[in-house]
Structure 1
Amino acid sequence: MKKLILAGLVSLALVGCGGSDKAEQAEATSNQTEASKDLGLTPKQINDGVETILKDAFSQISSDQAVKDWNTPIVVQDDMFVVNFSPALSLDGGIAKNGNVYEMKYSALAAQATPEEMMFFAFHAGALARTLSPELDKEQSAGEVVKLLSDVVTKASETKEVANNEVAIGKIVYKVGANPDKGILTLTVVPSE
């Protein structure tokens, strides 16, 4: 399974998550400021940006095979949201009073997830990086998240111990944790302080 995950991560880095032009995504982040304590986008804006990038990326790498439709509804309740992609893969987060997301966390039960689900996790995380940092080169933002995921998964697989690491990309911090005993992989996304 480790080889499949790493292959998916490498594929994601090579494709660069596809995506729309920077000008198209700049509008979605026009309300983000230097001093913001949130990610600058609502759950819907994040979902729309990621979906656009994923559709483009999947069309580039799988033109002759069907790709599962991962467009899963966002459940928003009060100050939080949840997206259950599958029983083994979910995304949840907090919503600030202004409607913007202030934190997101992917949770993957890697021991129960299919290779397709783990591949999707990597693609979705890379597309999220592109959505949250449209001002950066697409290979830079998606590639750094992919490298972070790959490094943490590799370290946890080799040492058989919990591995954690984080990287700041633009105004966003990505924190990855892998627990090989429990088979859990997490990616937390927060604004840099």
Structure 2
Amino acid sequence: MSRLPRMTQLDDQGRPEPPLEADEAGTLLGFLDFQRATLEWKCAGLDASGLRATVGASPMTLGGLLKHLAYVEDDWFSRWLHGQERRSPWDTVDWEADPDWDWRSAAGDPPEELRALWRDAVARSRSLTEDALAAGGLEQRARRTWPDGRAPSLRWILVHMIEEYARHNGHADLLRESVDGLTGE
């Protein structure tokens, strides 16, 4: 059963407003979906050139953000929370030799492929989150652990993902404005 309200209010950019009254899980999921929708808005309508644009000396791009956040979604929800092995394309990367592969390789990917990779990862994450909520709520521990044996809770993972998107959405604001002048939160 979904924790998000059935009647979701959308803002002027089509993003779902986080619920004003919800339980803890519904509130966290509402804010995460708002952050996800912010990234989607910042990348909407751009061609390959727009998704490859950089600002200043940084090599960061909107396409790189899409690919990186697709990786982060899969890593935290599939790999950490549910203990699954890495899936394609992440399973063929030598992460020790090329720790920025997700960022770097995005420049060669078509925009439709980047958007699909990210949207598919988000859909999997939503489904896996619902499974974890049903199995153990926000206290559900990740199957993978840190070297000291501790495992983050689903609550920790959700808050971390909100932080991850919020930080990168700040980057997306600057990148998008440099492409075509689009501004906004």
Which structure is higher in strand share?
1
Which structure is higher in helix share?
2
TM-score normalised by structure 2 residue count = 0.29
TM-score normalised by structure 1 residue count = 0.28
